[in-house]
């Protein structure tokens, strides 16, 4: 199959659409949401930075306020001038520092000597030496020039917030008498407190950059925030991280969304695919499969079967295809009818009979067959017109239909009909045959035709005795009808009757005997003179074969010639006839200038055997070719015209003459015969039978003579038996005569006797 199947194409189209949809989401909608979430996260981070810085600022200002409260106070002022226990007892103690959130507090006098120092529990060391070291550290800061009074310094104990203020009177006037230092250690407690306040875990470490840095990784934004903005000289920075909540949420939402979308897409794809498959492709496939089946089986009655009741386009398509098939079938049936039916009588034709035999599953055990041939049908057409002829045929067809019962009637030739009955025997067939013959004669009488007769042959075939075929049936019928025609028409004969005449029950037996006869000289040639009546002269002889069967006696050529033709033996027989006739007649022919007429049949023409033998015989015997006549029958003309024309022109080149035998038995038109280079027309003896009594026959024969004379053809009238017939022929023509009136076909010796007698006369 070229290209993709519909299903695959649809599948791909849907898949591309879904992929496009997912692509748009992936490359347009997804980045938009991510960007938006990053923006939101940034706002959140900024606000977190603000809140951390606010926590620290608050701490610082609280510490500053506390420092000022204590430093600008008369009691502190008095205390640094005159340190006393009373001040310490009522104001100091590490609980105080703890409450104030201070790690250490140092009172310095004007000389920057420590007057009093107090450490909070947060500061955590009871070790006197450590405290002293720490105090010394702080004093270094105090003394160091340039130190801001509000700063963060690193110490051995971690970073600390350092603040100092001059100690003055409560009214703020006068000179300072000392300095109050407050230290706030940025230790774990402090960090955890501010972390709690800022609601984010904060760490502190030495400064790495001088500005706010926000470092983002997949999950967190890590903030490095310098403490300089809050405290002076603070070489420290705060570190805390903010979860990228919006970003993470969006990402997870998108991930779930994408996954869902993918599943949805796949689901959609499958659903669409299945839907299309079920509603379209599967049904198309069904139609295609059915059509293939129909094509394969070549059964015109098959149709696409539908398993649906709902109507849609596909259903419409199937219906339309079925309608087309119906129409085709109708056309086929019509043309079959035309091919298998005779248009005039509406009876089946010869093809139909053949077809019936070819298509019968098993042949009927026994059939009775009736073959009808209208006598002189041609004459009826000529005298009464085509219309009457047609009416006769239609009438005969209607009679056949009437008697048919379960049988089968067909028109197999111009005036030939066949009637087959599967249950009857010869006896029943004969009854019907008699009836039909009578019906036809009656019909003729009504039309003003006296003596309208039929030739009927009957046969009975038994499949058990001997398997029969269409060919066997037709051959046997041919044999019977041939016999009927040649023994005077107007009668009903059965194959049995003819066969018992020749004592042959089976053709096979005859074949064997014919071969034997050829080898062992059982054939003999009789010769029948062909004479010119006035003045009397023997002009030629026709060689007619005879078979003297040693057991069965003489067998008529009317019986064995058709069989020999059928069996292909006619060519061998014909060769023998030609050679024998030439050798027997040559002497007489040459000395009395007699022509020799021999019969050839279709088969001998077709297989070239006759021409071949003729060349040999003529060169072997030096027989004068112009004395040889070749008789072909009209039925031969109906065969291959071109072949026949070739045959005739070859003979003409050899100077051999051509006779058309049995003119009037067939149905060929005159113009058709004119296309052949004929020399002699032999008018069939049936034309002579009714002479001189039958007016119609007389008219017809007269017409024929006129026509053939006009055409410049020589004529031989066959079957002249009575003087009246001879008189008629003499009166109307210069035709030659062949008939019992002068002589029957006779053996050679008798012919010689006849010749002697007539030559003497």
Give me the least distance between CB of 683 and Ca ion, in Å please: 9
Give the number of residues written for the chain.
Answer: 761
Which one, 265 or 557, has the nearer CB to ligand C2E?
Answer: 557
The residues, ordered by sequence, that sit 6+ positions from 391 with a Cβ below 8 Å of its Cβ are 447
Give me the least distance between CB of 362 and Ca ion, in Å please: 42
How crowded is the C-beta side of 522, counted as CA atoms within 13 Å?
A: 21
417 close to 401: Cβ distance less than 8 angstroms: no
**Three-state helix/strand/coil letters over 672-687:** HHHCCCCCEEEECCHH
| By CB under 6 A, residue 556 contacts ligand C2E | yes
Backbone Cα Rg of the chain: 68
Query: 595-599 and 628-633: which strand pairing?
Result: parallel
Interface with ligand C2E in residues 20-39 (CB under 6 A): none
Which residue's entry shows tokens 């969304």? 257
Residue 376 binding partner per list ligand C2E, Ca ion, none, with a CB distance cut-off of 5 to 8 Å that depends on partner kind: none
| By CB under 6 A, residue 726 contacts ligand C2E | no
Per CB under 6 A, the segment of 256-264, 423-431, 501-509, 734-742 that binds ligand C2E is: 734-742
Interface with Ca ion in residues 615-644 (CB under 5 A): 631
Give me the least distance between CB of 322 and Ca ion, in Å please: 60
| By CB under 6 A, residue 561 contacts ligand C2E | yes
| By CB under 6 A, residue 661 contacts ligand C2E | yes
Which one, 108 or 614, has the nearer CB to Ca ion?
Answer: 614
Question: How far from the centroid of its chain's Cα atoms is residue 80's Cα?
Answer: 119
Which one, 426 or 528, has the nearer CB to ligand C2E?
Answer: 528
Residue 658 binding partner per list ligand C2E, Ca ion, none, with a CB distance cut-off of 5 to 8 Å that depends on partner kind: none
Which one, 134 or 610, has the nearer CB to Ca ion?
Answer: 610
Give me the least distance between CB of 631 and ligand C2E, in Å please: 6
| By CB under 6 A, residue 719 contacts ligand C2E | yes
Binding-site member from 72, 102, 544, 736 for ligand C2E (CB under 6 A): 544
| By CB under 6 A, residue 657 contacts ligand C2E | no
Interface with ligand C2E in residues 216-245 (CB under 6 A): none
Give me the least distance between CB of 528 and ligand C2E, in Å please: 6
Give me the least distance between CB of 526 and ligand C2E, in Å please: 7
Residue 695's SS3 state is helix
Q: For residue 658, give the nearest of 611, 726, 719 by alpha carbon.
A: 611
Name the closest residue to ligand C2E (Cβ): 739
Which one, 185 or 575, has the nearer CB to ligand C2E?
Answer: 575
Residue 414's SS3 state is coil
Question: How far from the centroid of its chain's Cα atoms is residue 416's Cα?
Answer: 45
Residue 745 binding partner per list ligand C2E, Ca ion, none, with a CB distance cut-off of 5 to 8 Å that depends on partner kind: ligand C2E
Interface with ligand C2E in residues 450-509 (CB under 6 A): none
Give me the least distance between CB of 599 and ligand C2E, in Å please: 4
| By CB under 6 A, residue 662 contacts ligand C2E | yes
The residues, ordered by sequence, that sit 6+ positions from 37 with a Cβ below 8 Å of its Cβ are 246, 247, 249, 250, 251
Interface with Ca ion in residues 677-736 (CB under 5 A): 718
Binding-site member from 459, 662, 697, 714 for Ca ion (CB under 5 A): 662
| By CB under 6 A, residue 184 contacts ligand C2E | no
Residue 722's SS3 state is coil
Q: For residue 453, give the nearest of 464, 466, 442, 468 by alpha carbon.
A: 442
What is the spatial distance between Cα 486 and Cα 483, in angstroms, rounded to a whole number? 5
Q: What does residue 373 show for φ and ψ, rounded to 5 degrees? A: -130, 120
For residue 692, say if its preceding peptide bond is cis, omega within 30 degrees of 0: yes
Contact pattern for ligand C2E over residues 591 through 610, marking x by CB under 6 A: --------xxx---------
Binding-site member from 661, 686, 689, 737 for Ca ion (CB under 5 A): 661
658 close to 598: Cβ distance less than 8 angstroms: no
Residue 499 binding partner per list Ca ion, ligand C2E, none, with a CB distance cut-off of 5 to 8 Å that depends on partner kind: none
Binding-site member from 281, 599, 725, 743 for Ca ion (CB under 5 A): 599
Per CB under 6 A, the segment of 214-222, 257-265, 299-307, 714-722 that binds ligand C2E is: 714-722
Tokens of 284: 């198309």
Which one, 499 or 661, has the nearer CB to Ca ion?
Answer: 661
Q: For 232, which DSSP code?
A: B
Give me the least distance between CB of 684 and Ca ion, in Å please: 6
Gap between the terminal Cα atoms of the chain = 93
Binding-site member from 558, 608, 638, 692 for ligand C2E (CB under 6 A): 558
Q: Where are the beta strands (DSSP E) in 65-217?
A: 104-109, 114-119, 150-155, 158-167, 178-185, 202-206, 213-216
| By CB under 6 A, residue 540 contacts ligand C2E | no
DSSP annotation string for 595-633: EEEEE--HHHHHTSHHHHHHHHHHHHH---GGGEEEEEE
634 close to 666: Cβ distance less than 8 angstroms: yes
What is the spatial distance between Cα 739 and Cα 346, in angstroms, rounded to a whole number? 42
Give the strand order in the sheet containing 454-462: 408-411, 416-421, 366-374, 454-462, 492-494
What is the spatial distance between Cα 452 and Cα 94, in angstroms, rounded to a whole number? 162
Which one, 32 or 536, has the nearer CB to ligand C2E?
Answer: 536
Contact pattern for ligand C2E over residues 663 through 692, marking x by CB under 6 A: ----------------------x-------
Which one, 242 or 541, has the nearer CB to ligand C2E?
Answer: 541
Q: Which stretches of the chain bind ligand C2E, using CB under 6 A?
A: 528, 543-545, 556-558, 561, 574, 577, 599-601, 661-662, 685, 718-721, 738-740, 745
List residues binding Ca ion (CB under 5 A).
Answer: 599, 631, 661-662, 718
């Amino acid at each position: 199959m070229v290209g993709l199947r519909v299903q695959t194409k649809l599948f791909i189209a849907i898949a591309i659409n879904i992929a496009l949809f997912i692509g748009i989401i992936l490359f347009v909608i997804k980045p938009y949401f991510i960007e938006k979430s990053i923006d939101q996260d940034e706002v959140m981070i900024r606000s977190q930075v603000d809140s951390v810085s606010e926590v620290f600022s608050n701490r610082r200002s609280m510490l500053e306020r506390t420092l000022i409260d204590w430093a600008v106070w008369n009691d502190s002022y008095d205390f640094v001038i005159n340190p006393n226990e009373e001040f310490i007892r009522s104001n100091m103690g590490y609980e105080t520092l703890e409450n104030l959130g201070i790690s250490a507090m140092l009172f310095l006098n004007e000389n920057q000597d420590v007057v009093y120092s107090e450490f909070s529990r947060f500061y955590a060391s009871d070790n006197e030496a450590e405290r002293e070291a720490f105090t010394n550290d702080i004093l270094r800061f105090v003394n160091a020039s340039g130190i801001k009074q509000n700063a963060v310094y690193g110490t051995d104990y971690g970073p600390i917030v350092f603040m100092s203020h001059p100690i003055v009177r409560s009214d703020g006037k006068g000179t300072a008498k000392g300095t109050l230092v407050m230290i706030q250690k940025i230790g774990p407690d402090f960090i955890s407190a501010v972390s709690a306040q800022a609601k984010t875990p904060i760490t502190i470490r030495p400064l790495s950059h001088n500005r706010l840095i926000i470092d983002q990784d997949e999950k967190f934004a890590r903030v490095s925030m310098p403490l300089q903005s809050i405290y002076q000289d603070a070489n420290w920075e705060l570190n805390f991280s903010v979860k990228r909540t919006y970003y993470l949420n969006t990402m997870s939402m998108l991930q779930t969304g994408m996954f869902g979308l993918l599943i949805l897409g796949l689901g959609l794809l499958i659903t669409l695919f299945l839907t299309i498959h079920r509603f379209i492709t599967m049904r198309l496939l069904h139609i295609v499969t059915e059509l293939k089946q129909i094509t394969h089986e070549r059964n015109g009655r098959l149709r696409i079967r539908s398993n649906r009741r709902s109507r849609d386009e596909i259903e419409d398509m199937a219906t339309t295809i079925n309608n087309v098939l119906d129409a085709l079938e109708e056309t086929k049936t019509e043309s079959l009818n035309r091919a298998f039916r005779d248009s005039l009588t509406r009876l089946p034709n010869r093809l139909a009979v053949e077809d019936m035999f070819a298509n019968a599953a098993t042949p009927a055990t026994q059939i009775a067959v009736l073959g009808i041939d209208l006598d002189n049908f041609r004459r009826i057409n000529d005298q009464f017109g085509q219309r009457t002829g047609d009416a006769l045929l239609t009438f005969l067809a209607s009679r056949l239909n009437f008697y048919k019962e379960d049988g089968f009637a067909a028109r197999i030739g111009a005036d030939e009909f066949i009637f087959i009955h599967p249950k009857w025997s010869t006896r029943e067939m004969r009854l019907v045959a008699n009836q039909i013959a009578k019906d036809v004669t009656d019909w003729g009488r009504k039309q003003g035709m006296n003596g309208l007769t039929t030739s009927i042959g009957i046969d009975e075939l038994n499949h058990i005795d001997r398997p029969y075929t269409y060919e066997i049936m037709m051959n046997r019928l041919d044999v019977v009808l041939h016999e009927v025609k040649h023994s005077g028409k107007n009668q009903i004969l059965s194959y049995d009757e003819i066969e018992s005449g020749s004592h042959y029950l089976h053709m096979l037996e005859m074949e064997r005997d014919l071969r034997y006869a050829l080898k062992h000289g059982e054939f003999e040639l009789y010769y029948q003179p062909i004479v010119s009546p006035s003045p009397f002269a023997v002009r030629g002889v026709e060689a007619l074969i005879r078979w003297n069967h040693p057991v069965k006696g003489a067998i008529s050529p009317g019986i064995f010639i058709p069989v020999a033709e059928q069996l292909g033996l006619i060519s061998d027989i014909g060769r023998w006839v030609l050679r024998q006739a030439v050798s027997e007649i040559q002497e007489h022919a040459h000395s009395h200038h007699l022509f020799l007429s021999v019969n050839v049949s279709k088969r001998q023409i077709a297989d070239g055997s006759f021409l071949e033998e003729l060349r040999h015989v003529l060169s072997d015997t030096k027989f004068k070719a112009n004395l040889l006549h070749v008789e072909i029958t009209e039925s031969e003309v109906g065969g291959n015209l071109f072949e026949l024309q070739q045959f005739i022109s070859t003979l003409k080149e050899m100077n051999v003459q051509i006779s058309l035998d049995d003119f009037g038995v067939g149905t060929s038109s005159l113009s058709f015969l004119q296309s052949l280079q004929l020399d002699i027309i032999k008018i069939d003896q049936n034309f002579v039978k009714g002479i001189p009594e039958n007016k119609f026959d007389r008219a017809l024969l007269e017409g024929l003579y006129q026509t053939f004379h006009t055409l410049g053809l020589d004529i031989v009238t066959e079957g002249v038996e009575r003087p009246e017939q001879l008189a008629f022929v003499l009166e109307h023509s210069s035709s030659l005569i062949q008939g019992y009136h002068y002589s029957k076909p006779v053996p050679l010796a008798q012919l010689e006797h006849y010749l002697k007698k007539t030559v003497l006369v």
